[in-house]
Amino acid sequence: MKQRALWSVAVVAALALTGCGSAAGGDKTSNSGGKLVVWDWKSGDKTAANYIAKAKADFARKHPGVTVEFVNQPFDQYYTLLGTAIQSGKGPDVMMFNGGGQIRDRVNALVPLDAYVAQDRQRLAGWDAFSKDGKIYGAPVTLQGHPIYYNKSLYKQAGLDPEHPATTWDGFVKDCGTITKATKATCFALGNKEGIGIQFWLSGMGSGILSPQEYDDWIAGKRDWTSPDVKKIFDLWKQANDAGLNNKGANSTAMFTDIFSVFDAGKAADIIGLMSDIGHWKDFGDFLKPENVGVMTAPVVTAGAQPSLPYDGGIGYAVANWTKDPAVAADLVRSLTSTDALSAFYVDAGAIASDTTISTASAGPAVGTIVSELKAGKPALHVALSSKTLDLMGKLSQQILDGSVGVDDALRQLAASDKA
């Protein structure tokens, strides 16, 4: 009997020991000096293979003894997984971020990179989206923005001049009417199932509505949600939908990626799209032919507005503060933003890279227009908002479209969220 009891003790002890062992023996390798672990959602893409290979080669020249492992995470789970890693203080040494709220919300877990990337400040654009309180926390890889793309062949079919789209809102709406009459295509392709359509609208149309002063104040954090021009942005959001300028069922159509195929199929004349990743000039060009994809500036709604291309740093890499040697990790970030690597990314993936020295002359007219507008471009309006306010704006935008919330009520809620 005693023997049996002792055996049970032994079994339980063994179970407990192995249990503890597996629970505590987590990811220790990521902190060792001989290896760097990178998390992103790009390195698995075929179009990024060349980019990653070039960055790795560049880093291997500087640090031959350090191995680099890329872990490709699914994007829709990325920030959930990262949140868990940050909570436990263990995880990748270098990780990818979207510029704006996503990185600013998590700077507590990151190393300021100012000292390491000083030489790259001039060569790369888009740093603001990776900075908070004057410190840089990530280096931009791509630029992300919201050009208004239009389908030149639909303009031609409707008898309009495809090289000179309207520059005022009234003219734009009139052209839309002509196109819809001639081709049955709607004016805008709008997908707002995720509540992201309003972000594109705010940033895509904003520079044609706000005065330059209001625009700069908005970016600087002095946002007046009660100003008539801000209200105009949301009024037009509602009016455009009520007037039938959007495709039907915008609230149940996904921005990623159902709505892009509506534009690809020629069922809509215009779309506020992206510059990099997806839903951009390269994707549209594959379907509509590059010469049929046009880029226009925001139509002017209020007199005195100066339309500009809204863009920021798109995606970039940052260094976790639990990494063993931040200088080595920062060097990897520098390799990931080297000219050589970024030109490969631009050529293969069609991303507008952050490196201003890359030549884009050989691509279609759309990319030429975008690049020429970069100099006068300004940060996008929605990127200045916190992810909490963006989430609220997404929900409210859906409620505005289906009529369950009024524009004034929505603006009041947004003002309160923005102040908090």
Partner 1 sequence: MTPRRAADDRRPLGDRLAAYVLIAPAAVVLVVFRLWPLLLGVDFSFTGDGDQDGTPVGFGNYSELLHDPYFRIALRNVGWLVVLLPVAVAIPGLLATFIFLKVPGHRLYRSVYFFPAVLSPVIVGSIFNLLLSYDGPLNKLLAAVGMAPVDWLGDSKTALFTVVGVHIWATFGMALVVFLAGFATLDPSLLDAARSDGASLVQLIRHVIVPGLSRTIQFVFVTTMIGLLTSMFGLLYVMTSGGPGGSTTLPEYYVWIQQGQMNRPALASAASTVLFLIMLVVGLGQIAILRRSGRED
Q: State the residues that interact with partner 1 by CB under 8 A.
A: 1-2, 4-6, 8-9, 11-12, 15-16, 19, 77, 79-80, 83, 87, 105-106, 108, 192-195, 248-253, 387-388, 391, 394-396, 398-399, 401-402, 404-405
Give me the least distance between CB of 249 and partner 1, in Å please: 3
Nearer to partner 1, 87 or 257 (CB): 87
CB of 110 to partner 1, least distance (A): 13
Q: What is the Cα–Cα distance from 134 to 132, expressed in whole angstroms?
A: 5
With beta carbons less than 8 A apart as the criterion, state whether 130 and 103 touch: yes
What sign for the dihedral angle of Cα 330, 331, 337, 341? negative
Strand boundaries in 236-337, DSSP class E: 268-272, 293-296, 311-313, 315-319
Shortest distance, position 274 Cβ to partner 1, whole Å = 19
Nearer to partner 1, 75 or 287 (CB): 75
| 2/46 with CB nearer partner 1 | 2
Give the C-alpha separation, 237 to 290, whole Å: 29
φ/ψ (deg, to 5) at 345: -65, -40
Of 34 and 403, which has the nearer Cβ to partner 1? 403
- Angle (deg, nearest 10), helices 228-242 and 387-401: 40
Q: Which residues pair with 378 in a beta bridge?
A: 310
Cβ proximity to partner 1: between 142 and 398 the closer is 398
Element (H, E) at 15: helix 2-24
- The minimum distance between CB 307 and partner 1, in angstroms, equals 30
Euclidean distance between CA atoms 125 and 128, whole angstroms: 9
Kindly write down the DSSP assignment for every residue of 331-374, as one continuous string: HHHHHHT-HHHHHHHHHHH---BSBTTS--TTS-HHHHHHHHHT
Smallest separation (angstroms) from partner 1 to the CB of 390: 10
For every residue of 120-159, DSSP letters joined together read GTTTB--GGGGEETTEE-EEESBEEE--EEEEHHHHHHTT
Stretch (H or E) spanning 260: helix 260-264
Q: Which of 118, 40, 75 is closest to 345 using CA atoms?
A: 40
Q: Smallest distance from the beta carbon of 189 to partner 1, in angstroms?
A: 13
> Which residue lies nearer to partner 1 by CB, 114 or 409?
409
Instruction: Give the torsion sign (CA, 75, 324, 109, 221).
Output: negative
Nearest distance, CB of residue 30 and partner 1, angstroms: 21
Q: Based on CB atoms, which residue is closest to partner 1, 302 or 399? A: 399
Query: Shortest gap between Cβ of 383 and partner 1 (angstroms)?
Result: 16
User: Measured from the CB of residue 96, what is the shortest distance to partner 1 in angstroms?
Assistant: 16
**By C-beta, is 19 or 228 nearer to partner 1?**
19
Find the shortest distance in angstroms from Cβ 117 to partner 1: 24
Min dist CB 231 to partner 1, Å, is 19
Encode 131-151: b = buried (16+ Cβ within 10 Å), e = exposed. Answer: bbeeebbbbbbbbbbbbbbbb
How many Å apart are CA 199 and CA 177, to the nearest integer? 25
Cβ atoms of 187 and 247 closer than 8 Å: no
Choice between 83 and 304, CB closer to partner 1: 83
CB atoms within 10 A of CB 242: 11
Tell me whether residue 194 or residue 291 sits nearer to partner 1 (CB atom): 194
* 31 vs 399 by CB, closer to partner 1: 399
